[in-house]
Amino acid sequence: MSQVSILGNREQGQDVRSANIMAVQSLSNIVKSSLGPQGLDKMLVDDIGDVTITNDGATILKQLEVQHPAAKVLVELSQIQDREVGDGTTSVVILAAELLKRANELVKNKIHPTSIMSGYRLALRESVKFIQQQLSLSTEQIGTEALINAAKTSMSSKLLGAESDFYADIVVNAMQRVKQVNSLGEVKCPIKAVHILKTHGKSSKESTLVDGYAIEAGRSAQGMPTVVEDAKIACIDFNLNKFRLQMGVQVLVQDPENLEKIRQREMDVTRERVNKIIDAGANVILCSKGIDDFALKYFVERSCIAIRRVKKADLRRIANCTGAKIVVSLADFEGDEKFEPSFLGLATKVYEKRVGDWDYTFIEGMKETRAQTIILRGANDYFLDEIERSIHDSLCVIKRVLESNLLVAGGGAVEVALSIYLDDFARTLGSREQLAIAEFSEALLVIPKTLALNAAKDATDLIAKMRVFHNAAQKADDEQKKELKHSGLDLINGKIRNNLKAGVLEPAMSKIKSLKFATEAAITILRIDDMIRLAPKEEEAPRRV
Amino acid sequence: MEGGAKALAFQQRDIGGKMDSEKTKDIRSTNIIAARAVSDVVRTSLGPRGMDKMIQDSKGHVLITNDGATILKQMEVIHPTARMLVEISKAQDIEAGDGTTSVVVIAGALLRACQDLIEKGIHPSSISEGFAVALNKAVEIIESMGQPVDLNNRQQLIENAITSLSSKVVSQHSDLLAPMAVDAVLRIIDKENDTNVDLRDINVSKKLGGTVDDSELIDGLVFVDKKVSHFAGGPSKITNAKIGLIQFCLSAPKTDMENNVVVHDYTAMDRILKEERKYILDLVKKVCQTGCNVILIQKSILRDAVNELALHFLAKKNVMVIKDIDRDQIDFISKTLLATPVAHIDHFTADKLGTAGLVEEVNAGGERKIVKITGCPNQGKTVSILLRGSNQLVLDEAERSLHDALCVVRALVKKRSLVPGGAAVEMEVAQKLQAHSREIYGSDSYCVRLYGEALELIPYTLAENAGMDPINFVTELRNRHIAGERYAGLNVKKNTILNMLEENVVQPSLVSISALTLATECVRMILKIDDIVLSR
C-alpha cells in the first residue's frame, strides 16, 4: 500500500492508538500524585513568570498548554468535569487514562476496538445503575451533618484540609442561605450568589462569612459618611463627568465671556443630574462609570455615599438584590430629564470597612434576596488563589448535594464496590464484551490504588482487604454484613473503615458524571485510528520568479 | 500548490530515465496508486462500526470525524489525481449528502480492477467503455431493487435517517436526531409536488453546553449569538409578539458628508441635548404606535444601529430589542415571521410587522442565553434546529451528522425510492454483473466482471471494520444473493446476515446510484490521463 501524499504527516492504525494512549498516560501521570487527601501540590510557572500552586486537576491541566491533540481531549475532559460537577477533576483524568491503557492491551491481544467500546458502554450503564440502586443514600438517611461532611471531604485534599471544620461551616452556611425553591418546586442554589473576596494579611482562620454583599471599593471622597442606615440605593450606569458635547459638534466662541458661560453650563448639566438623583431620596449612589471630582462635592454636601467605577456585574447583582433599577439615562417621555424614586433600591445598612489594606463597602439587609460574601484572608496571593479554588469546589459539591440529595461513601468505596460487581457481571456474559468489562472493572481500582499510594500506604494489601469486604457485602444476606459496602480507605491510619460512619461523603451525581465523562473520553480516543497532522502554513509563501 | 509542484517534479525526475513508452504506463499507474491511497485513508471509516480520524490542521485545531467528505476536505492532498477523489466525495456530499465515504471506497476498488485489466493488456479506452456498460447495468439493477417511498410515511423516512446516522459518533442519539431531520424537511416541503428541498430553509444553530439530548426542533426562529439587549433593563419575555424588522438606525442622525454642528452660545448646548432626546423619542413613539413590541435591528457599519438613549426609551415602553442582526439573516427571518424588512421609519406601519406567539430569552447553560421566537403563524416554510453538545468536537460532529440526515431525507424527496442498506445493494449488483458478464462478448465481458468483483469490497470493508471475519461473511452473503435473497445484507450490530428490508436498514436509491455514477465517471477520467504536464 502506498502513502497518500499530503502536506504534513500521518499515522495510522495501532501506531496512532499507542501514541495517543501514551500521550494520555503521561498526562495522567502528572496529575496522579495530587489525587486524594494526601496528594501533593504542583507549582506551575507560566510564560510570564506567574506562579500557581494547586492540586486541582483542572487547573493544572489548563496551565500545562498541552500540544498533543489526544491529550487535549483529556484536558477538555477535566474542564467539562469542572464546569458540570466542579469536583473530581483529577480522578476523571486518571480513570480515562487507565481505561485507555487497558483497552490498548486488549487491542494488542487482537480484540477489535469496536468490541471494547461496546463492552465499556455496557459496563458504564451497569455501573450507573448499580450506584443509583445500591450505593447511594439520601441526605435524610444520613442526617444533618451530611452536608458538612461532604464539604469536608471535598476540602480534605486541598490546602485548607487542616481547617476543614472551619471552612465547611462557612461554605455550608453560605449555600444554605442562598438556597431557593423555585415555582416548580426545584431547589436552586446559585453559586454566583456567593461572592468571594480575597484580601491578604492575617491568617486564613480570620476568614469570615458576611450576610450581605460586599464590593471592593470605598467611598469616592473622604467627606462622605462611612455608614448610612436605611439606605436608598441608586444604581447609575452613565458618566457623572463634566458634560461633553458629542463628536461632530464644534464650539466656536467669539466672546471670552461666552467661553466661561459654556464651561459653567457644562458643569451645570452634571449638577442638575446629581441634584435630581438626590432629590428623589437616594443616599447611596453606585456608579459604574466615572464621577468627576467637582461632582463628588455635591454628594458630600448632601452627605451621601457615592462610589464610582463599581464593576458592572456587581452593580447588576446589587440592583437585583435590592430591587433597584439600573438607570442608563434620565430622559423621560416628555423630552426632559427626571429621576423617579421607584428606581431606588433598599437596604438596611451600607457601610465602609477596612479589611487588611483595602476598603470594602458592605451592603446589608437587602430587600429582595439574600446574597452572601465570603472574605478570605491568607498569607499570600498563591495561598488565597488556591483557597478560592477549593472553596469553589466545595460550593459546587454542596450545591449538588442540596439539589440532588444523593450521597455515596468516598475513599474508594464506590470504585471497589463497582469493580467487584462488574467482575461478577462480566462472567455472566458469553460475548466478546466480557473481556472489556473485566478490564473496566480492573481499571476502576486505579483510584483507590492511587489514593493509598499517595498516602504512602501499602496499596496492594489495602485493596485486597477492601475487595474481600465488598465481596462479602454483595454476597451477604444479613443487614450487618451489607453495611460493609460502605467500606473505604482510612488514609491516615492505613486501615479499612466504614466511610459512611466516618463522614467521608461525596455527591452521587459527581461520581456518576465522572464515570460517564471518563468513559466517553476514552471511547472518543479509542475510536481514532488515523491521525493526520497538517504542516503549519508558512508565514509567507515563497514568491515565484 | 507549491508542495504539489515539488512532489510532481520529484516524480518526473523519477521516471525521466525510463523509455518513452514506459512513461505513459507509469503515469497511469502512479495516478492509480495515488488515488487508491486516498481511498485507503477513508476505508476504515466506512460503516456503523467505522473508526474516526483525528486531524490537526495547519493552525493546530483538532477535528475528530468519520465523515468521508470532511476528512478529505481537511487533508490537504497534493497529488492532482488524488484530488479528483476528494472532488467526487464533495460532489456526492452536494448531490446526495450521504455516502461520501462509500463513493471514495468504490472508486478505489474500481481503480484496482483497472490495474488488473491493464495488466491483461486491455486498452484503457476499452476499459472505460466496459465500465460504462457495467454502470448502466448496475443502475438498472439498483432501480429494480428500489422500493417506492411515500412521503407521508414518517416512520419509513425516520428509518432512512437512522441508517445514515448509525455510523456517526452521535449514533446513540439517532432516535432524537432522525425524527428531527425528517420533521424539519417535511415541514418545509409540499409533499405532493416538490422534487427538491432548499436546505437553506432549515436553519441549524449550534450552542455549546448541555448534551446532544437537549437539541430541539424549533418552529420559528432561534438566535444563539444574539442577545436581547438588557442594557437598560427591558423585558426578556413577550407573548403575542408583534415583531418589527428594521434596517434603519435608532440613533442620532448623521449626514452623508462630514458634518459639523457649530455652537456659539451656551443655550445652544441645551438645545442640542433636548433635540437629540426629542428626535429619538419621536422614532421610538412612531415604532410603538404600530403596536410593535419586539424589534430586530440590522447591524449597521456606519454608526451604532441603536444608541443608549433609544434602548432606554424602548425598555421603558417594554419593547424587546434584539440588535446586530446580520444582513444575510434578514431573508430567513422575514420568511419565517412574514415580516417585511423596513428601511425607513416613514414606511414602518402595522402591516409590515410579523407576529409570533412567544419571544423569550432562555437560559442555555451557565452564562449564555439564547433567544427563541416560537408560535409563528407561517407554518411550513422554514424551520430552525438548535443543536446542543457538551464540547465543541461533539457539537461540530453532530452538525455534520444532522446535515447528512437532512440530505438523506432530501434525497428521498428528489427520488422517491429506497433500497436496502448494509451492503445488500453492492452485493446484489456485484453478483448480477458477474452473471451478466457471461452473456456478453469481448473486453466488455472482462470489464463488467471485474467491476462486479470490485464492488464486493464494500461488504468486505463493512465486515472488516466491525471486527467480523470478512472472508466468511462476504462469501456467505454472495451465496445468499445467488440463492435469490436479494435484500440480504450485513447487520453489523448483530454480526449476522439478515434481510435488510425487514430489519429496516434502508437508504435512498439516489445515494447508491449517485455513488456508483460518480465513482465510475471519476475512474474513467483517471484512466484516460496518459501524461501530466506541469505548467508554470
- Is the CB of A73 less than 8 angstroms away from the CB of B393? yes
A89 is catalytic: yes
- Which chain A residues touch B309 with a CB distance below 8 Å? 329, 331
Instruction: Give the integer Cα–Cα distance in Å for A240 and A271.
Output: 9
**Sign of the CA dihedral running A181, A182, A186, A190:** negative
Most confident of A288-292, A419-423, B147-151, B296-300: A419-423
Cell numbers that stand for B379 in this block: 407554518
Which of A354, A376, A372 shows the shortest CA–CA distance to A363? A372
Query: In terms of DSSP bridges, do strands A358-366 and A345-355 run parallel, antiparallel, or are they unpaired?
Result: antiparallel
> Which among A10, A264, A329 has CB closest to B308?
A329
pLDDT tens track for B233-247: 677 788 888 888 888
Instruction: Give the integer Cα–Cα distance in Å for A152 and A158.
Output: 10
Query: Chain A residue closest to B45 (CA)?
Result: A529
Closest-CA distance of chain B to residue A411, Å: 28
> Which among A114, A265, A329 has CB closest to B49?
A114
Which of B271, B32, B46, B81 shows the shortest CA–CA distance to B166? B46
pLDDT tens track for B334-376: 888 888 888 888 888 888 888 888 888 877 655 567 888 888 7
Q: Best residue in B45, B53, B54, B64 to probe A by mutation, most A CBs within 10 Å?
A: B54
Phi-psi region of A49 (alpha: psi -120 to 50; beta: other; left: phi over 0): left
Closest-CA distance of chain A to residue B59, Å: 6
Provide mean pLDDT across the span B415-441.
Answer: 88
Phi-psi region of B437 (alpha: psi -120 to 50; beta: other; left: phi over 0): alpha
- Which chain B residues touch A111 with a CB distance below 8 Å? 467
Q: At CA A357, angle to CA A352 and CA A363, rounded to 5? A: 25
Beta strands in B364-471 (DSSP E): 369-374, 383-389, 417-420
CB contacts under 8 A, B 494-523 vs A, are none
Look-up: residue for cell 481537511? Answer: B74
Kind plus residue range of the DSSP H or E element containing B218 = strand B216-218
Q: At CA B357, angle to CA B356 and CA B363, rounded to 5? A: 100
- Cβ of residue B438 closer than 8 Å to a chain A Cβ: no
Distance of CA A422 to the CA centre of its chain: 32
The mean-pLDDT minimum among A14-23, B386-395, B502-511 falls in: B386-395
Which residues pair with residue A235 across a beta bridge? A286, A326
- Is the CB of B308 less than 8 angstroms away from the CB of A114? no
Provide mean pLDDT across the span B164-176.
Answer: 78
- Is the CB of A73 less than 8 angstroms away from the CB of B38? no
Which of A503, A473, A497, A472 shows the shortest CA–CA distance to A485? A473
Instruction: Give the integer Cα–Cα distance in Å for B77 and A361.
Output: 63
Cell numbers that stand for B142 in this block: 439498483
Instruction: Give the integer Cα–Cα distance in Å for A100 and A522.
Output: 6
CA end-to-end distance (rounded Å), chain B: 11
Cell numbers that stand for B16 in this block: 525521466
SS (H, E, C) A498-526: EHHHHCCEEEHHHHHHHHHHHHHHHHHHH
- Which chain A residues touch B60 with a CB distance below 8 Å? 536
Cell numbers that stand for B338 in this block: 412574514
Closest-CA distance of chain B to residue A162, Å: 32
- Cβ of residue B40 closer than 8 Å to a chain A Cβ: yes
> Which among B76, B233, B278 has CB closest to A6?
B76
Q: One-letter amino acid identity for B370?
A: I
Query: Chain A residue closest to B51 (CA)?
Result: A527
Q: Out of B93, B98, B219, B404, which one is annotated catalytic?
A: B404
Query: Chain A residue closest to B466 (CA)?
Result: A114
Radius of gyration (Cα) for chain B, nearest Å? 29
Closest-CA distance of chain A to residue B196, Å: 35
pLDDT score for B380: 55
Exposed, middle or buried, A194 (CB in 10 Å: 0-12/13-18/19+)? Answer: buried
CB B356 within 8 A of CB B384: no
Cell numbers that stand for A100 in this block: 485507555
Query: Chain B residue closest to A69 (CA)?
Result: B62
- Which chain A residues touch B316 with a CB distance below 8 Å? 333
CB B62 within 8 A of CB A23: no
- Which chain A residues touch B269 with a CB distance below 8 Å? 243, 245, 262, 265-266, 269
A428 is catalytic: no
Torsion of CA B194, B196, B200, B204, to 10 degrees: 90
Mean pLDDT of chain B, nearest integer: 81
In sequence order, the 6+-apart residues with CB closer than 8 A to the CB of B250 are B280, B283, B284, B287, B297, B305, B306, B307, B310, B314
Q: Best residue in B26, B43, B51 to probe A by mutation, most A CBs within 10 Å?
A: B51
- Which chain B residues touch A537 with a CB distance below 8 Å? 58-59
Cell numbers that stand for A390 in this block: 477549593
Q: Is the ipTM of this complex over 0.90?
A: no
Q: Out of A54, A56, A59, A519, which one is annotated catalytic?
A: A56
**Structural domains for chain A:** 8-139+413-492+507-533 (1.10.560.10), 213-369 (3.50.7.10)
What SS3 class is residue A191?
helix
Query: Chain A residue closest to B258 (CA)?
Result: A248
CB B243 within 8 A of CB B376: no
pLDDT tens track for B97-115: 788 888 999 999 999 899 8
- Which chain B residues touch A269 with a CB distance below 8 Å? 269, 273
- Is the CB of A249 less than 8 angstroms away from the CB of B78? no
> Which among B49, B57, B231 has CB closest to A328?
B231
Q: At CA A353, angle to CA A348 and CA A355, rounded to 5? A: 135
Closest-CA distance of chain A to residue B279, Å: 9
pLDDT score for B19: 44
In sequence order, the 6+-apart residues with CB closer than 8 A to the CB of B436 are B137, B448, B452
In sequence order, the 6+-apart residues with CB closer than 8 A to the CB of B153 are none
B404 is catalytic: yes
Q: What share of chain A is helix, strand, coil (3-state, %, to 5)?
A: 50, 20, 30
Closest-CA distance of chain B to residue A435, Å: 15
Helices B424-437 and B509-528: angle between axes, nearest 10 degrees: 50
In sequence order, the 6+-apart residues with CB closer than 8 A to the CB of A422 are A123, A126, A127, A437, A438, A440, A441, A444
**Structural domains for chain B:** 19-148+419-528 (1.10.560.10), 220-378 (3.50.7.10)
CB contacts under 8 A, B 79-138 vs A, are 79, 82
Closest-CA distance of chain B to residue A185, Å: 18
Q: Out of A52, A54, A59, A89, which one is annotated catalytic?
A: A89
B201 is catalytic: no
- Cβ of residue B281 closer than 8 Å to a chain A Cβ: yes
Instruction: Give the integer Cα–Cα distance in Å for A358 and A338.
Output: 35
Q: Out of B44, B101, B517, B520, which one is annotated catalytic?
A: B101
| Other Cβ atoms closer than 10 A to A511 | 25
CA distances from B180 to A152, B211, B275, B375, B509 (A): 46, 16, 53, 18, 21
CB B61 within 8 A of CB B40: no
- Is the CB of B75 less than 8 angstroms away from the CB of A73? no
- Is the CB of A4 less than 8 angstroms away from the CB of B54? no
> Which among B53, B79, B169 has CB closest to A5?
B79
Which residues pair with residue A528 across a beta bridge? B52
Q: What is the pLDDT along chain A (545 residues), one digit of tens a residue?
A: 445 666 667 777 778 888 888 888 888 888 888 887 777 888 888 888 888 888 788 888 888 888 888 888 888 888 888 877 777 888 888 999 999 999 999 888 888 888 888 888 889 888 888 888 887 777 776 666 777 888 888 787 777 777 778 888 888 888 877 777 766 666 676 777 788 888 877 777 778 888 888 888 888 888 888 888 888 888 888 888 877 766 667 777 777 788 888 888 888 888 888 888 888 888 888 888 888 888 888 888 888 888 888 888 888 888 888 888 888 877 777 767 778 888 888 888 888 888 777 788 888 887 766 778 888 888 788 788 888 888 888 888 888 787 777 888 888 888 888 898 888 888 888 777 888 899 999 899 888 888 888 888 888 888 888 888 888 888 877 777 777 778 888 877 878 888 877 878 888 888 888 888 888 888 888 888 888 887 776 554 455 54
pLDDT value at B4 more than 50: no
Beta strands in A117-193 (DSSP E): 137-138, 180-181, 187-188
pLDDT value at B520 more than 90: yes
pLDDT tens track for B114-144: 988 888 888 888 999 999 999 999 999 999 8
- Which chain A residues touch B62 with a CB distance below 8 Å? 69, 72-73
Distance of CA B499 to the CA centre of its chain: 30
- Is the CB of B54 less than 8 angstroms away from the CB of A16? yes
Reported pTM: 0.76
Look-up: residue for cell 451525581? Answer: A509
In sequence order, the 6+-apart residues with CB closer than 8 A to the CB of A410 are A153, A488, A499, A504, A505, A506
CB A7 within 8 A of CB B3: yes
User: How many CA atoms are closer than 13 Å to the CA of A323, on its beta-carbon side?
Assistant: 14
Instruction: Give the integer Cα–Cα distance in Å for B453 and B426.
Output: 10
